Amino acid sequence: MSGAYRPPDDKGSTLPSVPTRQRSRQACLPCRRRKRKCDGQLPCNICKGYDYECEYDETSQTIPQKRKNQPIQSSSQSKARPTNKVQSGDGSRQDAGASILPGVLEPSKARYVGRYSSIAFPLYVGLEVQATNLPRLHSFAYHTGIREEPPCAVQSEVTDHLSWNDARSLIDVYSTTIHPVFCFIDTDLFYKRCEDHWHGRSQGIVFEAMVCGTIALASLFKELIDHESEMWLILHAKKILEDSDISRFPSFEQLAAWILRTLYLRCTGRPHVTWIASCTIMHLVEAIGLHNAPESTIQTGGSDAPISETSYTMNRVAQVANCLHILIAFEYGRTILPINRRVLEHIDHTNRGTDLTPQLCRLVTTLPTNQHVGDTTLLSQDLFLALEKIAEIAIDHDFLVLLRTDLVLGIYRRLRVLDSKFQHGHYENIISAGLVALPAARRLVSKNEPWWNVVGAVFQFVCTLLVIDTPASCEALANTMDTLEFVVRNLDTHLAREALLTARQLVHASLHKKRKGIEMLERAVGTEAPEAAPSQTANQLAQDMASLSPLLAAQLPFDLDLLWNTDFQLPL
């Protein structure tokens, strides 16, 4: 995260005029089918907004070139020339830019609203009537105003509860353990601002929430402070983030603090609460306007950039937020918020030392988030394709290895619900992904890095092996249970012991089921003894098979696994 948030001078802040829209000489094919107004660009605004595949009729004489960024006119230019209009299909008249620009951003408050919002409408009215003083982006008449808003109820206190030496040590832990995977903070600048904050140069109350989240997460991995102090940090950050006076102005610091809180909840909290927090970070991404391209957003404050973050940092924060939300929702089986996934489309693969976030993003982008409502065949195809792609991603961190296993098992659960037809190779991919995770879980526990999936990935793999129920899955079960016992023995927590007990119960239930099946088979062949001697069983099998064709008897013993992918067809 870069420097402190400093609002610019609001004097002279006006909304720029909307670029002139010329009537399109040709509409793209998706807009023709949906009878939408097309701006004739490639991609057009409609397709870009709805993630359609924008294409034009190849027989046309002119096919538009890719859209180039167009500078937004200044407010003085907008006053000198009236805003152009276009006639809509229903006879109404609309702003020319209404079909081009998706929303309005007020940089001084880092607040984004859609162009159809009641908050933005007075601005467009001011442009329409060519007002000298344009209305500001404000919630005019949002309610009756019969009650005053409560003041901020939180004070800056972290420096009184934690010494700088302890804070500095925990920041170092965060930088070496959590930051490489979720790299969205400028750690050098963050460290400097923390030092200033502890030495009397306050960095603001929202920054303090960010500090609390960082230190509390680091405390999970190396307990340099007691649990009571850690809990105070979490509750203090919660009070700051949920204060109505503070949350009025969304900022990058606020988004970063919510990401840190969501990570902490994923490591320590309940699934529903964690999912709610992940939804909050996505709402903040939209509130700040990170889900849209900067060139497609009207800014009310001229050319001065109110936020000192670079475009790389802004996109990275949005990427981490989006990835975290998708991971939590995908695992929990909850809705993935349909925020524009543009932030995940352009992932920087540049080698930046220990930065592993691009690997995290590549894992997440393999997941099909489109639901294909009513078409389970297409959804199954997308899931099978994702299962194959995810195995090809190079991983350089044990936590990401476990995370890949989580995603593979999540894909398997969805395919199983869809009653998809698995091939033998699909089971091999699933079992291979789980087996690779076992040593990774052992290493993380041995290093005292309790990532949230060191128990969960191994436990879910046990459940998956029992359901797959093939010779290969049964063979992998012993090593998986040994790893689960190793992890639980080292952690020695209630949730870990509960998972191990449940896994043992499921394995015993599966064993009981198989024994019942064996008893039924024994009764079917007339074997009354609980166990037949190996020599007697082999002799009986040889005698029975000798009565069959000599060719089949000569092939004994044969491997039944050879018949796994064999198609049998009965004669008509």
Is the Cβ–Cβ distance between 409 and 434 less than 8 Å? yes
pLDDT tens for the 572 residues of the chain, in order = 444 433 334 433 333 333 344 444 578 887 776 667 787 888 887 777 666 778 777 555 455 555 444 333 333 333 333 333 333 333 333 343 333 456 777 665 666 777 778 877 888 888 888 888 888 878 888 888 898 888 888 888 899 999 999 999 999 999 999 999 999 999 999 999 999 999 999 999 999 999 999 999 999 998 888 999 999 999 999 999 999 999 888 888 999 999 999 999 999 999 999 999 999 999 999 888 887 665 555 666 543 333 445 556 778 888 899 999 999 999 998 888 876 655 556 666 555 667 899 999 999 989 887 765 567 888 888 899 999 999 889 899 999 999 999 999 999 999 998 888 888 889 999 999 999 999 999 999 999 999 999 999 999 999 999 999 999 999 999 999 999 999 999 999 999 999 999 999 999 999 999 999 988 988 888 865 555 455 555 565 555 545 544 444 444 444 444 444 444 444 44
Fold for 366-520, please state it: 1.25.40
Radius of gyration (C-alpha) of the chain in whole angstroms:
30
The pLDDT value recorded for residue 149 is 85
Q: Hey, what's the torsion of the CAs at 505, 507, 512, 517, to 10 degrees?
A: 150
Fold for 24-68, please state it: CD2-Gal4 (4.10.240)
Query: How far apart (Å, rounded) are the C-alpha atoms in residues 282 and 294?
Result: 18
Q: Where are the domains of the chain?
A: 24-68, 158-344, 366-520
- DSSP code at position 35: T
The per-residue DSSP string of 51-85 comes to: T------TTSS--PPBP---PPPPHHHHHHSPPPE
In whole angstroms, what separates CA 307 from the centre of its chain? 25
Question: Token pair 């592993």 is at which residue?
Answer: 356
